[in-house]
Amino acid sequence: MGHGTNRVEDMASPNNGTTAPATANARETIVEIHSVCLPPKKTAFQKLKKRFGDVFFPDDPLERFRNQTWRNRVILCLQSLFPIFTWGSQYDLKLLRSDVVSGLTIASLAIPQGISYAKLANLPPIVGLYSSFVPPLIYSVLGSSKHLAVGPVSIASLVMGSMLSESVSPTQDSILYLKLAFTSTFFAGLFQASLGLLRLGFVIDFLSKPTLIGFTAGAAVIVSLQQLKGLLGIVHFTGKMQFIPVMSSVFSHRSEWSWETILMGLGFLAILLTTRHISMRKPKLFWISAASPLASVVISTLLVFLIRNKTHAISFIGHLPKGLNPPSSNMLYFSGTHLALAIKTGIITGILSLTEGIAVGRTFASLKNYQVNGNKEMMAIGFMNMAGSCTSCYVTTGSFSRSAVNYNAGAKTAVSNIVMASAVLVTLLFLMPLFYYTPNLILAAIILTAVIGLIDYQAAYKLWKVDKFDFFTCMCSFFGVLLVSVPLGLAIAVGVSVLKILLHVTRPNTLEFGNIQGTQIYQSVKRYREASRIPGFLILAVESPIYFANSTYLQERILRWTREEEARIKENNGSTLKCIILDMTAVSSIDTNGIEALFELRRRLEKQSLQLVLVNPVGSVMEKLHKSKIIESLGLSGLYLTVGEAVADLSSTWKAHGQP
Amino acid sequence: MGHGTNRVEDMASPNNGTTAPATANARETIVEIHSVCLPPKKTAFQKLKKRFGDVFFPDDPLERFRNQTWRNRVILCLQSLFPIFTWGSQYDLKLLRSDVVSGLTIASLAIPQGISYAKLANLPPIVGLYSSFVPPLIYSVLGSSKHLAVGPVSIASLVMGSMLSESVSPTQDSILYLKLAFTSTFFAGLFQASLGLLRLGFVIDFLSKPTLIGFTAGAAVIVSLQQLKGLLGIVHFTGKMQFIPVMSSVFSHRSEWSWETILMGLGFLAILLTTRHISMRKPKLFWISAASPLASVVISTLLVFLIRNKTHAISFIGHLPKGLNPPSSNMLYFSGTHLALAIKTGIITGILSLTEGIAVGRTFASLKNYQVNGNKEMMAIGFMNMAGSCTSCYVTTGSFSRSAVNYNAGAKTAVSNIVMASAVLVTLLFLMPLFYYTPNLILAAIILTAVIGLIDYQAAYKLWKVDKFDFFTCMCSFFGVLLVSVPLGLAIAVGVSVLKILLHVTRPNTLEFGNIQGTQIYQSVKRYREASRIPGFLILAVESPIYFANSTYLQERILRWTREEEARIKENNGSTLKCIILDMTAVSSIDTNGIEALFELRRRLEKQSLQLVLVNPVGSVMEKLHKSKIIESLGLSGLYLTVGEAVADLSSTWKAHGQP
């Protein structure tokens, strides 16, 4: 060998001459060979610590505390626990004015939506208002988003309603149902807060965007179908959620359809959709769509009040109790047959509402260029729900539609949530009797208007264009939710996403590389026409970690590449194949199965008088190759830093030995 | 920009000048810039076809049929269905002699092992002999391994015994138990054959080597513990398999221990272990360990026969029916309460025996340098078990210990299996009464000797040294099997392995690259001391596909790299950071979440006046970047083929614009 030093050098030992020019006498060209280094030595504990840090503390939360006085550290700690301390001291009248305007705007939306969403969850309407009072107050102290408008949301309400009512009837067993709803809320909060505390926030990353697009659209369709009850005036409606039973229930109860309800419902629906359309086209007119639900509630209530003696076809809310949230901690339910159901419902609504809350928070934070800390948000939302479950609230989170209105109305800080909560407080204390004649149809129309915007067909079309597999995931999620059930549809979509990752690892790409003439660049011969094969070499790039799941496949695939290359050479009368170069740049990890596959591959290639050369293994791979002694078994000319150096060095060695 | 042409060129369009030398007037050095190509255009169908081929036909099974006459194709087809046609025509007397010697050798091992393993599965001993007769005959026609010795094996017997006896008592409900055993065998065969037919052979790759090492060791301990019943002469033994109940059962029945049994058992155990040790040290003396079980059976049977009137403490097999396998297709059980159990047992024993059979086949094929086709082997083993379930056999596969003896005894083809089956036939027809006085303790000693070799502590130690995580998987599997249950232990270990893949994708490595002076090589600055950072640039390499599961993390991590780099520059008074270069060489795939994360990253970096540049995206990634229009949004100087070209081109542009 031209270069005398062992090229596998240890960073711990003195390492002066890493580049060893080959002795020129035996070779035509002078080849500069760089050694492949081992990564700096680390103990198993250090590695574990780094890995642990990567998994749980990717944001390096203690970074800010370094190089600070103790006093500053205490302040920073308080600020990070209660973000209100960050902006509270700079709060002034100008900010307050913006927050009052936006707070009142979202209150006018939150009150009718709160009542409507509670009905979606099969809960008494008043629970929706309770849930718009306590949680926003808690969030304004703990949360780090400035624009998130907190309260009940459609998806979580729907999921809770559908999951609980499968086992317990909300009309016959209303007390038990209420207990289960609060218990689920408690577990949702506990789950959310634990994810944040244990820094397991990455769990929500497994709900990919395509999954969520499909899921949201599916849920929106289900929610819309449920509104047919209110819009058509049907009394005996199915308790099921899936497409087919709901449609058959709608048409089998045609005798219950009431033309007055339908007429009035469609009228208000048209008004609400028009105002929504106007606001979407001109964001400055956001107040039109923000005010229209409350206006519709007022007008429709008046209408029903006026015709109350003429017709009884239009159903209305009826009596609502006055007063603030009653405590409900005595209604939490920690034993008994339905506990498992409550925990399951809690986890699923918890993760869905968390995903929505964090996505909405991040969207608006990114628009105004500030940071929302995922783990901290999880704790804020979690504590808010745990507190909510003790004060007659059900699952709440940041709502997309109300947050958008909040943002457009000029909200500056979380004070807008406090203003909203105050408006709800006034409503709860004094205005409840006014809702007596509010017709159910208007609640249905409000929900329909809100959820129709969640069906994002344009996003689905873009998925189809860019990534067919993502579109497939999206469709799995959509039809799973629509035809099977909400949690199962979600599970199917997550399963499909994970399967994609596994499939990618199980069947990784291997590419044949060639040299782009006049350069040291090696690229795929299929993709770059100017890349040409080097006679005597087969250069393969493996595009995946080498794991148990693909080690056998890769070994067989590389042997097949060799067979095919030899057949090609035979056809073209080229020079015989002598060396297989494996470019390991993209092999980000290897396990013991992978190492064994490399050993076996080398053994089988040697039987065919072919040499195996590894190029540029990354740090962790290099370390394992070193520990398993495969480097030694490959010999001095079995490891190079670049493909170019390997080709140059090996060809000149062959020439020196008089081989063609 | 110095180079006028759009550098994102389409391979479909004529592409003459891919290298565009930069105009020298504005720059100090002439930078040669290579364009990044899109991969050749493919329709969605072509891509799906390629993907499908990669997943299901990685070995390109039709390769051999190309360029052949129809007659040859028919012959090749017959040969691939029945490998016996491949070697049958060249079979001669010399080969036969070798096969007869090895066949008789493995028969002397197979008969006592068959009886013993059947007891392990709680089946009548005779079923073990039946299973050593029909399946080897079928395998010799269908199988492609020359050295595999087929018959019952310890692991599959243990798993079947433990899973079935949890629900059905083998002593009280012996007929139902037998029915379930045959039905499980049928489903095991069906499952194995389907995996082969559907070319889903990669499923067994998910049982990684560390999982199998741990599982086998755990199962060996469990099997050994079960032998305490026979070795101590205990009559009332627990039906459970786990470590704790077995040990407590052993010590609570101390009164049943029989010293005669213990003495004789330990004596024979010592003999068997000694002969095994001798054969392991000198492989030429393989016949010593191969002959010792049968010899021990003969001697111990004689001993018991001689002292039959003096003591009744030593239990023996008793009456065994003479005659060939009775048909059992009428005992298959396709409805009723236990069907699910039978299917579950079938799938688990099926996959375990498949893994063992294929691993053993591959090991010996690799030693003699011939190919064993995984999918074909699966079909062979599957059909053998389906036929077995109709002829009173239970699950069989290639046994490691007997195949090793077969190999050492000089077996040349599958005819040695036929010879073995003939020897079993003679035994079944004429020699059964001779086993009347065979003591149970000798069966226990034979099993113990066989399974002790399966505890591969050296392999476990090597795992610890090379890969801590693989060692952890191995321990999960070992303790899971030992303390929880066989299928659950296996499931835990597979779960842990899959979790590792997901974790690796969820938290991928990012490295900071620097230039090795005087070269175009860019490498990790932490690993290569001679690699130095380039002022104004932050060069990051991402070592994983960018998926939904890591897109948020990567985005945050890259922004943190930027913050840290800026802090470092501030400390050292370096030149301001202007550009982030992402080396995408190792990003083997991207999905829509990943693309969105790149968009968002670019947006956020731009707000800090930092440029984002992508380098060398692989084909499929390039395609998606192109479709999603991110390339256009990055601008002309946002995409390069190598890091070196990006650095050179951007620095000269900055210089031309008079920036420092």
Residues B191 and B281 in one domain: yes
The residues, ordered by sequence, that sit 6+ positions from A72 with a Cβ below 8 Å of its Cβ are: none
Residues B387 and B399: their CA atoms lie apart, in Å, by 19
Pick from B630, B608, B470: which is nearest to B546 by CA?
B630
State the smallest CA–CA distance between residue B624 and chain A in angstroms. Answer: 6
For residue B469, tell me if it sits in a domain: yes
Res B31: pLDDT: 58
User: Which residues in chain A touch residue B529, judged by CB atoms under 8 angstroms apart?
Assistant: 11, 15, 37
CB contact under 8 A, A588 and B497: no
Count: domains in chain B: 2
DSSP string across A604-624:
HHHHTT-EEEEE---HHHHHH
- pLDDT over threshold 70, residue A22: no
User: Which residues in chain A touch residue B528, judged by CB atoms under 8 angstroms apart?
Assistant: 18, 37
Pick from A391, A405, A440: which is nearest to A107 by CA?
A405
Instruction: Identify the CATH number of the domain in which residue B536 sits.
Output: 3.30.750.24
pLDDT digits (tens, 9 = 90+) for A310-328: 877 788 888 888 888 889 8
For residue A483, tell me if it sits in a domain: yes
Residues A129 and A135: their CA atoms lie apart, in Å, by 11
- Rg of chain B, C-alpha, whole Å: 33
pLDDT digits (tens, 9 = 90+) for B314-351: 888 888 888 888 899 888 888 888 899 999 999 999 99
pLDDT digits (tens, 9 = 90+) for A526-562: 888 888 899 899 999 998 889 888 888 898 889 989 9
State the smallest CA–CA distance between residue A616 and chain B in angstroms. Answer: 9
Q: What is the mean pLDDT of chain B?
A: 85
For residue A78, tell me if it sits in a domain: no
CB contact under 8 A, A470 and B591: yes
CB contact under 8 A, A11 and B54: no
The residue of B548, B600, B615, B643 whose CB has the most chain A CBs within 10 angstroms, and thus the best one to mutate to test that interface, is B548
Residues A316 and A338: their CA atoms lie apart, in Å, by 32
Percentage of chain B beyond pLDDT 70 is 95
For residue A44, tell me if it sits in a domain: no
* More confident of the two residues B66 and A18: B66
CB contact under 8 A, A497 and B557: no
Worst-scoring range by mean pLDDT, A48-62, B183-197, B377-391, B609-623?
A48-62
State the smallest CA–CA distance between residue B281 and chain A in angstroms. Answer: 24
Pick from B136, B141, B137, B116: which is nearest to B126 by CA?
B116
Q: Tell me which residue in B528, B552, B620 faces A205 most closely, judged by beta carbons.
A: B552
Angle at A497 between CA A496 and CA A503, to 5 degrees: 80
Res A512: pLDDT: 92
> Which pLDDT band, with edges at 50, 70 and 90, does A8 fall under?
very low
Rounded to a whole number, what is the largest CA-CA distance in chain B? 112
Which residues lie across from A614 on neighbouring strands?
A582, A639
pLDDT digits (tens, 9 = 90+) for A108-135: 888 888 988 998 899 998 999 999 999 9
- At A397, phi and psi to the nearest 5? -165, -170
Residues A618 and A478 in one domain: no
Res B17: pLDDT: 38
pLDDT digits (tens, 9 = 90+) for A352-401: 999 889 888 888 887 777 777 788 899 999 999 999 999 999 999 998 88
Residues A99 and A92: their CA atoms lie apart, in Å, by 11
For residue A69, tell me if it sits in a domain: no
CB contact under 8 A, B628 and A466: yes
User: Which residues in chain B touch residue A593, judged by CB atoms under 8 angstroms apart?
Assistant: 208-210
- pLDDT over threshold 80, residue A167: yes
Pick from A530, A547, A625, A613: which is nearest to A577 by CA?
A613
Of A500, A523, A548, the residue that ends a domain is A500
Res A292: pLDDT: 86
Please report the number of interchain residue pairs, chain A to chain B, with beta-carbon separation below 8 angstroms.
237
For residue B414, tell me if it sits in a domain: yes
A150 neighbors A398 (Cβ within 8 angstroms) = yes
CB contact under 8 A, A502 and B506: no
SS3 at position B508: coil
The residue of B456, B458, B466 whose CB has the most chain A CBs within 10 angstroms, and thus the best one to mutate to test that interface, is B466
Residues A106 and A180 in one domain: yes
Res B659: pLDDT: 60
By C-alpha distance, the chain B residue nearest A468 is B44
Res B30: pLDDT: 52
Residues B168 and B205 in one domain: yes
pLDDT digits (tens, 9 = 90+) for B87-135: 888 888 888 988 998 899 888 888 888 988 998 899 998 999 999 999 9
User: Which residues in chain B touch residue A543, judged by CB atoms under 8 angstroms apart?
Assistant: 586, 588, 618
Tell me what the mean pLDDT of segment B582-600 comes to: 90
Residues A560 and A625 in one domain: yes
Res B26: pLDDT: 39
Q: Tell me which residue in B55, B374, B557 faces A58 most closely, judged by beta carbons.
A: B557
Residues B134 and B158 in one domain: yes
State the smallest CA–CA distance between residue B65 and chain A in angstroms. Answer: 15
pLDDT digits (tens, 9 = 90+) for A612-650: 999 999 888 988 888 888 888 877 778 899 999 899 989
Alpha carbon of A479 to those of A211, A352, A533, A583: distances in Å?
Answer: 11, 18, 48, 43
Residues A306 and B143: their CA atoms lie apart, in Å, by 87
- At A99, phi and psi to the nearest 5? -65, -35
State the smallest CA–CA distance between residue A87 and chain B in angstroms. Answer: 22
Q: Tell me which residue in A462, A502, A507 faces B54 most closely, judged by beta carbons.
A: A507
Residues B404 and B530 in one domain: no
- pLDDT over threshold 90, residue A423: yes
Residues A483 and A523 in one domain: no
Res A312: pLDDT: 77
Res A16: pLDDT: 38
Res A659: pLDDT: 60
Res A6: pLDDT: 41
Of A466, A500, A534, the residue that ends a domain is A500
| ipTM given for this complex | 0.81
For residue B87, tell me if it sits in a domain: no
Beta-carbon count within 10 A of B319 CB: 10
Residues A65 and A59: their CA atoms lie apart, in Å, by 13
Residues B12 and B9: their CA atoms lie apart, in Å, by 9
Res A268: pLDDT: 92
Tell me what the mean pLDDT of segment A260-266 comes to: 89
Check the CA dihedral A551-A552-A554-A555 and report its sign. positive
B231 neighbors B445 (Cβ within 8 angstroms) = yes
Kindly state the tokens that stand for B551. Answer: 């897109």
Res A133: pLDDT: 94
Q: Tell me which residue in B208, B463, B544 faces A588 most closely, judged by beta carbons.
A: B544
State the smallest CA–CA distance between residue A325 and chain B in angstroms. Answer: 38
Res B25: pLDDT: 41
Residues B584 and B483 in one domain: no
Residues B451 and B525 in one domain: no
For residue A276, tell me if it sits in a domain: yes
Residues A369 and B343: their CA atoms lie apart, in Å, by 57
Residues B543 and A229: their CA atoms lie apart, in Å, by 53
Residues B504 and A555: their CA atoms lie apart, in Å, by 22
Residues A238 and A229: their CA atoms lie apart, in Å, by 9
pLDDT digits (tens, 9 = 90+) for B493-535: 888 888 888 888 888 888 999 998 888 889 988 888 888 899 8
Percentage of chain B beyond pLDDT 90 is 26
Domain that holds residue B354: 94-500
Residues A405 and A460 in one domain: yes
Residues B13 and A652: their CA atoms lie apart, in Å, by 38
Angle at A271 between CA A264 and CA A157, to 5 degrees: 80
* More confident of the two residues A632 and B192: B192
B398 neighbors B361 (Cβ within 8 angstroms) = yes
Residues A478 and A514 in one domain: no
- At B393, phi and psi to the nearest 5? -110, 155
Kindly state the tokens that stand for B440. Answer: 């149970």
Of A438, A471, A500, the residue that ends a domain is A500
Res A31: pLDDT: 59
CB contact under 8 A, A603 and B497: no
Tell me what the mean pLDDT of segment B173-187 comes to: 94
User: Which residues in chain B touch residue A547, judged by CB atoms under 8 angstroms apart?
Assistant: 208, 500-501
pLDDT digits (tens, 9 = 90+) for B42-86: 787 888 888 778 777 777 777 777 777 888 888 888 887 888 888
The residue of A548, A587, A623 whose CB has the most chain B CBs within 10 angstroms, and thus the best one to mutate to test that interface, is A548
CB contact under 8 A, A530 and B58: no
Beta-carbon count within 10 A of A143 CB: 27
- pLDDT over threshold 60, residue B460: yes
Tell me what the mean pLDDT of segment B393-413 comes to: 88
3-state secondary structure A366-426: HHCCCCCCHHHHHHHHHHHHHHHHCCCCCCCEECHHHHHHHHHCCCCCCHHHHHHHHHHHH
Res A21: pLDDT: 41
- Tell how strand A32-34 and strand B510-516 pair up: unpaired
> Which pLDDT band, with edges at 50, 70 and 90, does B562 fall under?
very high
pLDDT digits (tens, 9 = 90+) for A189-240: 999 999 988 888 778 888 888 888 898 888 888 888 888 888 888 888 877 7
Q: What is the mean pLDDT of chain A?
A: 85
Q: Tell me which residue in A37, A543, A560 faces B588 most closely, judged by beta carbons.
A: A543
By C-alpha distance, the chain B residue nearest A498 is B502
Any idea which residue has 């070499």 for tokens?
A: A537
- Tell how strand A579-583 and strand A537-542 pair up: parallel
- pLDDT over threshold 60, residue A5: no
Burial code (b: 16+ CB inside 10 Å, e: under 16) for A397-432 equals: bbbbbbbbbbbbbebbbbbbbbbbbbbbbebbeeeb
- pLDDT over threshold 80, residue A62: no
CB contact under 8 A, A205 and B551: yes
CB contact under 8 A, A548 and B519: no
